Amino acid sequence: MHERLEPIFEEVVRRNPGELEFHQAVREVFESVGPVIAKHPEFTEAKIIERICEPERQIIFRVPWTDDKGEVHVNRGFRVEFNSALGPYKGGLRFHPSVNLGIVKFLGFEQIFKNSLTGLPIGGGKGGSDFDPKGRSDAEIMRFCQSFMTELYRYLGEHTDVPAGDIGVGSREVGYLFGQYKRITNRYESGVLTGKPLLVGGAQVRPEATGYGLAFFVDEMLKARGASFDGRRVVVSGSGNVAIYAIEKVTQLGGVVVACSDSSGYVLDEKGIDLPLLKEIKEVRRQRISEYAKARAGSGAVFVPGRSVWEVPCEVALPSATQNEITGADARTMVGNGCIAVGEGANMPTMPEAIRIFREAGVAFGPGKAANAGGVATSALEMQQNASRDSWSFEYSENRLRQIMQDIHTRCLETADAYGMPGDYVAGANIDGFTRVAEAMLTLGLI
């Protein structure tokens, strides 16, 4: 870390005690942007670093709701509006028991630079609740979403803050949230939420966008090394939205996905994951991944409970579950098994020691703020369609997504080269994303 940044990082830790994920996200950016600080003293003079680490607004609120038996529950809601230098705050809502202020701040901080990398006019924010949607009925989820939006709506707007989905928040939840926003405000403001169902202003390719974008980005990384997905053995962690559509696009690009997971363990299917079956189990039945192995037992699929999916040998790894899922020990195993590329579908799924191991071993490593930016990029395209009362075809939307991911890949490589770190996607993503935000903050003055 650059010597000018060390005291700033110490102050970030002091001001945000106990928020370890946030500290980790800040350190990862700081370790890359030292050369930018040296080249642009005006950023130091204007205290850009200090300002960019402090959210513009942090909102915490109570979310009371009743279950189907009439019992009252109380959860906590969050929205961190981190930086609006480039446009309205943009970032998802996460419903999961692990959600706390530190998690939301880490996600929001990452979102600033991810959104910047897309080249689209969107700022960074994040939100969510410690509500657990697992096992809840549609009616319970609707009541929770309505209570959540009853407080959050006052901070939102298509030119102010535009949430989307994340873990635990899909089109069903976004539909309920948008319905309550519409009811309270008496405005059919489609652009206030993205990831909506198609019938109420959603966009084609939005459900697929993060997973597809991840596959497109990793495909570009492989091409840069004279390789491709064709015939490659691929492992994807998770089995939610990102993982499912990453599996779909990787398969279309010629890769063979042999394993995926959920919090209970992983399934190994040497013949390749049966995507229609996985979608049926996860998106329709909402069951555990073990049901996949039961249904495919005759084809040799097995379920391995309580173990890391990263013990399965692969050439390409796509961590798409949650933060800090790949440890240093996992990384050593993966390198030993011949892994040549890692693309982060989740936010910060790779621990710092693991990133170091991958980089030292020459593994192509695509950080989340670049590799999984397809979701927010397509959300911005949804905002564009809502603003113009338009609707694009699936093919046109997918081509826009592919072009954005190719552009992000090119900027990461070119920026890394320009700063003397060829092939370092982490440095390239952090420097390019940071520089664009920093220059916008200077332009807007001290606000």
Q: Which fold has domain 209-362?
A: Rossmann fold (3.40.50)
- Do residues 105 and 128 touch, judged by C-beta distance below 8 A? no
Task: Please name the residue that has the structure tokens 């070119």.
Answer: 414
User: How far, in Å, CA of 54 to CA of 48, rounded?
Assistant: 10
Residue 65 bridge partners (DSSP): 73
Do 209-362 and 6-189 fall under one CATH topology? yes
User: How far, in Å, CA of 365 to CA of 197, rounded?
Assistant: 33
Residues taking part in catalysis: 126
Q: 165: annotated binding-site residue?
A: yes
391: closest CA among 380, 402, 399, 381?
381
Q: 111: annotated binding-site residue?
A: yes
What single-letter amino acid sits at 148? Answer: F
Going by the DSSP 8-state scheme, the letter that residue 331 receives in this structure is: H
- Do residues 102 and 418 touch, judged by C-beta distance below 8 A? no
Task: Report pLDDT for 283.
Answer: 87
CB-neighbour burial class of residue 163 (10 A; exposed 0-12, middle 13-18, buried 19+)? buried
Share of the chain above pLDDT 90, in %: 96
User: How far, in Å, CA of 383 to CA of 411, rounded?
Assistant: 24
Top CATH class of 6-189 equals: alpha beta
- Do residues 176 and 148 touch, judged by C-beta distance below 8 A? no
Give the pLDDT band of residue 1 (cuts 50, 70, 90).
Answer: confident
Task: Report pLDDT for 47.
Answer: 97
- Do residues 370 and 28 touch, judged by C-beta distance below 8 A? no
- Do residues 232 and 315 touch, judged by C-beta distance below 8 A? yes
Map out the domains of the chain as residue ranges: 6-189, 209-362
User: How far, in Å, CA of 149 to CA of 156, rounded?
Assistant: 10
Give the pLDDT band of residue 373 (cuts 50, 70, 90).
Answer: very high
> At residue 286, does pLDDT exceed 90?
no
Q: Where are the beta strands (DSSP E) in 192-241?
A: 233-236
> At residue 188, does pLDDT exceed 90?
yes
Mean pLDDT along residues 47-51: 97
**How high is the mean pLDDT of the chain?**
96
Q: 114: annotated binding-site residue?
A: yes
Q: What is the pLDDT of residues 249-283, one digit of tens each?
A: 999 999 999 999 999 999 999 999 999 999 999 98
Q: What is the pLDDT of residues 218-258, one digit of tens each?
A: 999 999 999 999 999 999 999 999 999 999 999 999 999 99
